[in-house]
Copies of this chain bind each other. A is one copy, B any other.
Amino acid sequence: MQLVPTSEQDELRSAVRALLDKQAPRAVRATVDDGAGYDRDLWRRLGTELGVLGLAVPEELGGAGAGHVERAILAEELGRALLPSPFLGSAVLATDLLVGLDDRSGLLGALGSGERMAAVAGVLGPAGDVSVSGGGLRGSAGPVVDATDADDLLVVVDGVVHHLDATGPGVVRTPLRSLDPTRRHARVDLDGAAATRLGSLDSDALQRVRDLATVAIAAEQTGVMGAAVDRTVAYVSDRVQFGRVIGSYQAVKHGCADMYASTEQAVSAVRAAAWAADHDPDALPLPAAVARVFVGPAAFAVTNSMVQYHGGIGYTWEHDAHLFYKRAKSDELLSGPPGAARARLAELMKV
């Protein structure tokens, strides 16, 4: 099992980080403060300029043919930058569904270039009550992550994957209020919306899509953690109280050490799970479950410390600390309560 990145992987990280360092802060504040949608331009640059939106898509399906280790690096960098983007809906869930279907309709290409954005209902989160009726789909689903900005919707009903034009007739998307202002969710109401049936996946294949999403979310969380550590260490190295830099106080210093220790472990867990996704797919469920169980609460604890050690400034809307805090909590609960994650792991452990 390879837990140390190759130099190519390091370069990938640098390239993504360089772009996001420049572009993400503005995009974050546009969404958070002005309610702007996902930055389509930036998303397209990630797809075309960097070519990182189809990292885990095989070359024969038009992707980069790299792998999940690489996609985890992208996820980590997106998490670090807190970029409001359809990563989870479009570049993970929809992409993995289409890869699972061996889909050659061209949609994978459009998602990979960032030209189109997709969202998926019926895989993560509550199933809703969508049913096939006549030629179209009827019913409600939600919260559907990234549906607000999506061009395409994939709706899974009883293992069958349906493709819909998100802007077409019979499709109504109602934006929801969310804990994390950098990630947009919607309820989707379908009233006989026309849909194309793309194929169907058995429960193992659907579970693989969920496990891959688990890895991507955990990777995103390690990015959140890494940024929280870096920014907190920088702040406590500057901030003076009682005549000393606050990072020299054990209460703060030791707290930062815990943040770091937790992050380094989380990174190891994610690398192992991503490696399994690529190199030992049958064994993926266990490391994916381990990563989720560990990383969910760990990421929230780290961002909670981030707010704490920033003191008053960390409690303001203007400072980014709360966005990390909310992203971490939101990611922890996105697929259900922590008990559900541990129950699944216990199952896999054969307790």
| Chain A residues within CB distance 8 Å of chain B | 249-251, 254
Contact = CB atoms under 8 A, between A and B. Distances in A.
Contacts of A249: 250
A249 B250 CA distance: 7
A220 to B, nearest CB: 32
Contacts of A250: 249-251, 254
Identify whether the interface residues of A are mostly helix, strand, loop, or mixed.
helix
6 contacts: A249-B250, A250-B250, A250-B251, A250-B254, A251-B251, A251-B254
A250 B250 CA distance: 6
A39 to B, nearest CB: 43
A279 B251 CA distance: 44
A279 B249 CA distance: 48
A249 B249 CA distance: 9
Contacts of A254: 250-251
A181 to B, nearest CB: 32
A250 B253 CA distance: 10
Closest A-B pairs by Cβ, 5 of them: A250-B250, A250-B251, A251-B254, A249-B250, A251-B251
Contacts of A251: 250-251, 254
Nearest to A254: B251
A26 to B, nearest CB: 39
A57 to B, nearest CB: 45
A254 B249 CA distance: 11
A244 B195 CA distance: 73
A250 B257 CA distance: 14
A249 B251 CA distance: 9
